[in-house]
Chain A
Amino acid sequence: MVARVQVPQEAKRGEAIEIRIAIQHPMETGFRFDLMGRAIPKNVINSLVARYNGAEVFRAELGSGVAANPSLQFYTVAEASGTIEFSWVDDAGVSGTERAAITVI
């Protein structure tokens, strides 16, 4: 799974920073059929967690109502320099992680 995380490189302490993530994933609904008429099993990223220097700052439980290649934008307060790490898992049990570094001045 390919993912891209966008975090400002530098931020002021106490500032709410914009964080974006986009993950390449079909988010199969389970309502579609393949060319042979067999149902394609549901497979969506069901949970996504963002941790800022190890502490959880954001968590999402997603369903089939989220568009394919899910993208999310949210905010978090810049506290200290370090990393923002995302981890997620889909219905097939495949998980992924992606991280971005941030410098707080």
Chain B
Amino acid sequence: MVTRPRRRFISVLAGLAAVPFLRGRDARAAADPLAPLVEKLTGGAPVREGRVSLDMPRLADNGHSVPLHLKVESPMTAADHVRSITLLSERNPRPLMATFHLGPKAGRSELITRVRLNGSQRVRAIAHLSDGSYWSGSAEVEVTESACLDAG
């Protein structure tokens, strides 16, 4: 008779322990902080994953200047080229970091620059191709010192 309430108690405990995991997964799937901005950028057109590769250090110990290497798979001909690439940040106070306009004259759809990051996040790049399609790529960056903490 002693064991039954204890068994129930343990099963309740196990259930409670699972709650934060369930909620965490839901929250992550539902909240893409960039979704409204992406929709504004593309005008509602679908954005496919792929063709864009974003190369950033996995760990940036300083968010003030994080190197970024961007590549889009494209032949860069007059018929098929990259029109523009937009860099988006999930956690910066201004998520739109930069827009680059290329064209068939670029020859290669590749770009290197440095960005500021306010904390660990996934940085996204969205490429607009000449056929009107949108492609996206992202990179996860761990930032130990945010770019927005200094005041000097």
Contact = CB atoms under 8 A, between A and B. Distances in A.
Interface in A42-94: 52, 55, 57-68, 70-77, 79
A13 to B, nearest CB: 12
A12 to B, nearest CB: 12
In this complex, the interface size class of chain B, counting residues with CB under 8 Å from chain A, is 20 to 34
A77 B115 contact: no
Given A29-B148, A72-B111, A65 B106 contact: no
Contacts, number: 97
Interface stretch (B2-10, B45-53, B88-96, B129-137): B88-96
B98 A76 contact: no
Given A57-B105, A65-B87, A72 B112 contact: yes
A76 B114 contact: no
A51 to B, nearest CB: 11
A70 B87 CA distance: 15
A78 B100 CA distance: 20
Contacts of B116: 27, 29, 64-67
B27 to A, nearest CB: 25
Contacts of A72: 111-113
B99 A16 contact: no
Contacts of B92: 64-65
Contacts of A4: none
A59 B101 contact: yes
Given A61-B99, A73-B111, A73-B112, 14 more contacts: A17-B107, A29-B93, A62-B97, A64-B94, A65-B94, A65-B116, A66-B115, A67-B113, A70-B114, A71-B112, A71-B113, A72-B111, A74-B110, A75-B106
Interface of B: 64-66, 87, 89, 92-103, 105-108, 110-117, 148, 150-151
